[in-house]
Structure 1
Amino acid sequence: MASNTKIVLRKKPNKFGEYPLAIRISKNRRTSYIYLGHYVDAKYWDAKKRQVKRSHPNSAHLNNFLEIKLAETGKVILRLQAENKDISASQIKEEIESVLNKKDFFQVAQEHLDELENNNRLSQHSSDKARINHLKKYSRSATLPFKEISERFLKGFITYLKSERKVSERSVVNNLVVIRTIYNRGIKMGLVDRKLYPFGHDKIAIKFPETEKVGLNASEIKKIENLASLSEDQKHARDVWLFSFYLAGIRASDVLQLKWSDIYDGRLHYTMKKNSKIVSLLIPDKAKKIIDSHQRTNGGNNDFIFPYLKYVNSKDEKVLWKKTKLAIRKINYEMSTIADKAEINKKITMHIARHSFGNIAGDNIPVQLLQQLYRHSSITTTMMYQSNFMNKKTDDALQSVVNF
C-alpha cells in the first residue's frame, strides 16, 4: 500500500490555546506524526486546503514553510520507494525526521555569519552575507539541502550571477569561495557526504582571474602633492591617501583608525586589522609633515589622528567599522575629484596608494625588503604582487631585439 502524507492541525493545544502543526504519515492503516514546531489558533487553520488562512499575520511564511517540509517528506518517500524498501509508517517517520532535523546549507551559513560577527570580522561578515543572499535569491527558497548543491546547480548560479547580477569574474569566484567554505563546514559536521562535493579540478574549479594592478608613477604623485586650491574635504582625503602611500600602502582602515598613541620614537606602531600583525615603520619626513598638520583634540593620545573618526567610540566595533567604511567611500570620491584637477587619467582610490608604491618601487628594491614593507606572510605573495610592476627587464629585452 502506498504511503500518504498530509499537513494537519493536531488536537492537543499548548498552554496558549494554540494547536501544533504536523505532518501525518499513513501506511497500511497505521499513522505517525512529525511535529513541525509551529502552533496556530484553530480559527486560522483551513482544514480543507490544509494551510494557514490569510487572516493569520504570518500566513505567507508559515505556508511556505509547510510546503517545503511536505516536499522534503515526499522526496524521502520517493527515495524509499525507489529503493524498494517496504517499511512501516513509524520507520518512514524516522527516515523523514532524520532529514527534516538535519541542518541545511542556509542554517550552516547563518552559523558562519554569526561566528564572523562575534569575532568582530565585520568586513568579511558584510561581504559574505551579501553573497549568501545572492544564493538565496537564486534558489528562491528559505531552505537549501546540501545535496542539492550539485555541479549543475552551481553552473546555473554562475550564469545567474553573470546575467542577472552583472557581476565580474572575480565576484563570481568570491561567491563560489563562500559556498565552498560553508560546504566544507557541512562535511565536517557530518551533514553531507564528501562524495557529493561539487568542487575540484574535474568539477567546479575555483580559479581567481588575473587582474591588472594600475599604480601612479612618480610624476603623477608629485602632481597630487603640489595641487593647490583644494577644499577642506579634498585636503583631508589627500592627506590620508598620501600617508598610506608614504608608508608602503597601509590599508585604508588601518590609516583611518591610527591614534596619536601609535606614534613614538619617530616610528608608527600599530596592529593590522586584517591579520592582527604588529607593525613598526619609520615615519618618512613627508608623512611626518602630514601628521604635524593635524591637531590633537580633547582625546589626547587616544584620539584618532585623521578627522573622519574623531567622535566615534573606538570600543564600539560595529559603529567603528560602519563609520570607517563610509569614510573610505568619501575619500575615494574626493580622490576622484583630485584626479580630475591633476589631469590624471587613472582611477584613484585608497587601494591605488598601495599599487602606486609597488609601481614606483618596481624592481629597484630587493623583494625581501618589500615583503617586510608590505607586511606579507609569504615572500611568494610579494613576488606575485610585485610582478605586476616589474617591467624594466622585459622592456629592455624587447627593445634590444626590435631596435636594429
Structure 2
Amino acid sequence: MSAPTESPHNTLVIIGNGMASNRLLEQLGEHHPFEQILVLSNEAVPHYNRIMLSPLLAGDTQLSQITPHDEHWYQQRRIRILLNHTVTRLDVAQRQLECGQRRIGFSQLVIATGSQPSIPHLPHADAHNVSGFRDIRDVERMLEQLPQLSHVCVIGAGLLGVEAAVGLRSQGVDVSLLHRNPVLMNRQLDASAAGLLQQSLQQRGIAVHSGISQIELQARGQRVSAVSWNTAGSAQPQQQPTELVIFTTGVSPLIRLAGQQLACDRGILVDQYMRTSVNGIYALGECCQFEQHTYGLVAPIWDQASVLAQQLTQPARQHDQQVYREQSHLTKLKVSGLDVHSLGQVEAGADEETLSYLDEQAMLYKKIILRNNRISGALCLGDVRDSQWYFELMRNQECVTQLRDRLLFGRAACVA
C-alpha cells in the first residue's frame, strides 16, 4: 500500500460528485477557507445534472449541455475533481480513505455518496438485461442496446420510472410501465392526478398497468425474456415478452463506507448541522438521515447544503448559524409534458376537507386540502400558476375563509 497522498493540511475532501456535492461547492463559493477541496468521484465523467437523465435518454439533450461547470470554474474555487476514484474504505481512526491502491488523508470529510436502486430479490433479477435508472452509466447501457430493442418493461411508476418510460418511448421503443400501487407516482399524486398522467402516457403509446402483483421474470440463459404479473380481477396472469427490464422500485441510501464506524440507521445519521457521530465528518443528501427522514427530492438537500456550507466556513459562529429543519417544500415536476406542483399532503385526513377541480379534456386538475380553514396541502397539474401563492398561504397559515369560494381559481380571482 502506498503512503497517504500529500495534500495541504487545510483540505476538505468530499466523497461523491452528484447534485448534493455540486450544490455544496456552489454554496461554498470562491472565498471558502480551504487551501483545496478534493472531490472523489466513482464516475468517468464530470458532474452532470441527474434530473436531466430522461431527456438525455430520449435524445433531447447531450451530456455537455447538462454539465454546468467547466475546468475554469473549478480552478477559481481551488477544487480538484478526481474521476474514477471509488472509495473502498474509510478509516476513521487514521483519518484516511482508500481508493484502490491509493490512500488519501483528510482533516474534514463530507460523505455525499447518494443512493442506489432497490431492485427486488426476484429470481433472474441479476440477469444481464436487468438494470436500474440512476446515473449516466445506466443511460449509456440503454442507449447501447437501443438498436436491438423492440420492447422494454419498466417496473415502478414513481417519478424515475415514468421518466425512464417516456425517454425510451421517445426513442421509438415499445414500453410497458408496471406499478404495484393503483395510483401512479403515489408519493406525489392522488388518484385523479394519476389518471390524467396515465392518459398522457397512453397517448404517447406507453402501455400502463397499475395495481399489479406477483411479478415474475422469465429467463433464457443469462437474459430475461419475458415479464409476467397478476392484476386484480384477472383470472390469468399477463405476460409480456421483452428485451430489457428497468427497475425503478425505490432507492436506498449508500452507507456502505460508514460501516460500523459512523452511527447509521437507514442512512448515515446527522444532526441539525449535518454532522455525523464522528467529529469533522459530515453527510449530505440521499445518503444521510436526519431524525426519521431520508431524501430523494432536491429541495431539502438544497437546504442541507446551505446549512453545511455555513458550518464549514463559520464553525466558530455556531450560536447564530442556520440549522437544518424538516419543512414543507413546493415540489415542481414536469412529467410526460405535464407540469405538476405539489405542497404539503396530497390526501385529506379525517379532520380535513377538500376543494377540487378537474377538466380531463384540458388536462387540468387542482386540489386544495384545508384544515381549520387553512391550507395543509395542494396539488396542481397543468395549471401551476398559483402554486407559489398557495404555498405562501400554507407556510404563513393564513385563514382562507373569505377566499374559499374562489380559491381554486387562483390569486387573480381572489384579489378581484
Instruction: Indicate whether the TM-score tops 0.5.
Output: no
Report which of the two structures shows the higher radius of gyration computed on alpha carbons: 1
Identify which of structures 1 and 2 has the higher relative contact order when contacts are C-alpha pairs closer than 8 Å and 6+ apart: 2
Q: Point out the structure with the larger helix share.
A: 1
